């Protein structure tokens, strides 16, 4: 139920707005738009408020009166205002916004500028990382073995169950989806070759990299981002510790060290999944193993593992860079983690494409 009421009377040279009731936030809300519309229509004429029936006027009510005066564009007459409300109006007059401030206009080229700034940051990060690697012999004390082991454990052992599960399901689904169409051509036994080669060369490393981006990269970004928000990075700086050597290098080294084992575990789980599917379609185990041994080579596995190392380094570095670039406030950590995951997955796909191109050139 509205606690304030507005009556408008329009004459030739004057518009009268009679307000009654409580002019607090609830009352002002009930008549806000009607009052401003009437005040706008009164432009060029005298705007006169009759406030003798107002029982209370607080800052919300006074803001409404001042907003109406601003909308009218001239000085309004406030009749019947109580002494305290008049004093309040006088006090708030310099504070009331004349008009709503315009939203900041979109700056042309803003996203391009952001893109360039991000690219510059990435190059600077790589440069700093390279310098930190070169300076590592002098700063070896900053690379603490216990931290390195803890990080390797979190990135590798912690991710192993997930890698085994996803690898097994990948092999199972790929084999299942491939057997049905290839059976029509009598080529279903070759599913073992197809799945094993694609997993060892490509999919194993790719899926392991996605796991690392989602688990490890985001964790690095959140850890370092939180440290930055809590001014721990500033504390490191004041203690003469280099964040790149103390925080980034151990994390990147840890994830690079565990990535081959993670990828290999995922590859083997995928081959196991594929074997289970093939057995379900009636192929003897010996036939499946024979196909895999005949077509999949050590070189396929090494190609995959080599790519996995680069994926790991990229994802670890991107996670750390996102953490170091975190802003301030509670949103910053979440944004850093998101940037780490998105950036890591995009970088993985781009690097994979480059590998495909380079390996094709080298072997053709």
Partner 1 sequence: MNGAGEEIVVDVMGVAQRFDGRRIFENVSLSVRRGEVFAILGGSGCGKSTLLRQIVGLQVPSAGAITVLGRAMPRERGLVRSAIGVMFQSGALFGSMTLLENVMLPLEMHTDLPPEGRAAVARVKLGLVGLRDAALRLPAEISGGMVKRAAIARALALDPPLLFLDEPSAGLDPITSAGLDRLILDLRRDLGITFVVVTHELESILAVADRCIMLDAAAGGVIATGDPRRLRDDSTEPTVRAFFHRQAP
- The token duo for 304 is 């995959």
**Least distance in Å: CB of 15 to partner 1?**
20
Stretch binding partner 1 (CB under 8 A), from 30-38, 121-129, 144-152, 269-277: 30-38
Can you tell me which residue has the tokens 């060029």? 44
* Torsion angles phi and psi, residue 262, rounded to 5: -65, -45
* Cβ proximity to partner 1, 28 vs 51, nearer residue: 28
* Cβ proximity to partner 1, 51 vs 212, nearer residue: 51
**Least distance in Å: CB of 27 to partner 1?**
9
- The token duo for 71 is 């909308």
Stretch binding partner 1 (CB under 8 A), from 86-94, 116-124, 136-144, 283-291: 86-94
Distance CA 315, CA 205 (A): 13
51 and 27 Cβ atoms separated by less than 8 Å = no
Distance CA 266, CA 76 (A): 77
**Least distance in Å: CB of 78 to partner 1?**
17
| Interface pick for partner 1 out of 6, 17, 19, 30 (rule CB under 8 A) | 30
| Interface pick for partner 1 out of 29, 73, 74, 158 (rule CB under 8 A) | 29
Q: Contact between 34 and partner 1 (CB under 8 A)?
A: no
- The token duo for 150 is 């803890």
| Interface pick for partner 1 out of 18, 21, 32, 142 (rule CB under 8 A) | 32
* Cβ proximity to partner 1, 60 vs 309, nearer residue: 60
* Torsion angles phi and psi, residue 304, rounded to 5: -65, -45
**Least distance in Å: CB of 230 to partner 1?**
12
Q: How many residues bind partner 1 (CB under 8 A)?
A: 31
* Cβ proximity to partner 1, 30 vs 255, nearer residue: 30
- The token duo for 30 is 């009930």
| Span 317-346, contacts to partner 1 by CB under 8 A | 327-332
**Least distance in Å: CB of 92 to partner 1?**
6
* Cβ proximity to partner 1, 36 vs 272, nearer residue: 36
| Span 37-76, contacts to partner 1 by CB under 8 A | 58-60, 62-64, 67
Distance CA 91, CA 57 (A): 13
Task: Say what angle helices 59-72 and 25-41 make with each other, to 10 degrees.
Answer: 10
| Interface pick for partner 1 out of 9, 52, 55, 84 (rule CB under 8 A) | 84
* Residues with Cβ within 8 Å of residue 42, at least 6 apart in sequence: 10, 15, 72
Residues that bind partner 1 (CB under 8 A): 24-26, 28-30, 32-33, 58-60, 62-64, 67, 84, 87-88, 91-92, 94-97, 100, 327-332
């Amino acid at each position: 139920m509205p606690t304030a009421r507005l009556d408008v009377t329009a004459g030739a040279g004057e518009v009268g707005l009679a307000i009654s009731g409580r002019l607090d936030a609830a009352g002002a809300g009930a008549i806000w738009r009607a009052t401003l519309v009437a005040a706008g229509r009164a432009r060029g004429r005298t705007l006169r408020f009759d406030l003798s029936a107002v029982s209370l006027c607080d800052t919300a009510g006074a803001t409404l009166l001042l907003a109406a005066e601003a909308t009218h564009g001239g000085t309004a007459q406030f009749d019947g205002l109580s002494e305290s409300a008049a004093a309040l109006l006088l006090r708030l007059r310099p504070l009331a916004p004349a008009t709503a401030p315009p939203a900041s206009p979109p700056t042309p080229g803003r996203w391009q500028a952001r893109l360039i700034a991000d690219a510059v940051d990435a190059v600077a990060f790589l440069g700093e990382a390279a310098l930190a690697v070169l300076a590592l012999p002098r700063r070896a004390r900053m690379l603490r073995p216990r931290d390195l082991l803890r990080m390797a454990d979190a990135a590798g052992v912690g991710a192993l169950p997930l890698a085994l599960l996803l690898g097994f399901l990948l092999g199972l689904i790929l084999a299942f989806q491939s057997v049905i169409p290839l059976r029509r051509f009598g080529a279903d036994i070759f599913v073992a070759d197809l799945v094993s080669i694609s997993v060892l060369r490509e999919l194993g490393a790719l899926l392991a990299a996605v796991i690392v981006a989602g688990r490890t990269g985001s964790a690095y970004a959140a850890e370092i981002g939180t440290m930055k928000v809590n001014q721990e990075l500033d504390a490191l700086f004041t203690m003469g510790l280099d964040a790149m050597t103390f925080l980034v290098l151990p994390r990147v080294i840890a994830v690079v060290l565990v990535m081959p084992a993670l990828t290999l575990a995922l590859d083997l789980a995928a081959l196991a999944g594929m074997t289970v599917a093939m057995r379900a379609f009636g192929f003897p185990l010996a036939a499946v193993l024979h196909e895999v041994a005949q077509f999949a080579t050590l070189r396929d596995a090494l190609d995959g593992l080599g790519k996995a190392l680069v994926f790991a380094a990229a994802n670890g570095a991107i996670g750390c860079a996102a953490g170091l670039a975190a802003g301030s406030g509670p949103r910053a950590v979440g944004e850093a983690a998101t940037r780490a995951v998105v950036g890591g997955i995009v970088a993985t796909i781009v690097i994979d494409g480059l590998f495909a191109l380079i390996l094709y050139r080298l072997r053709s």
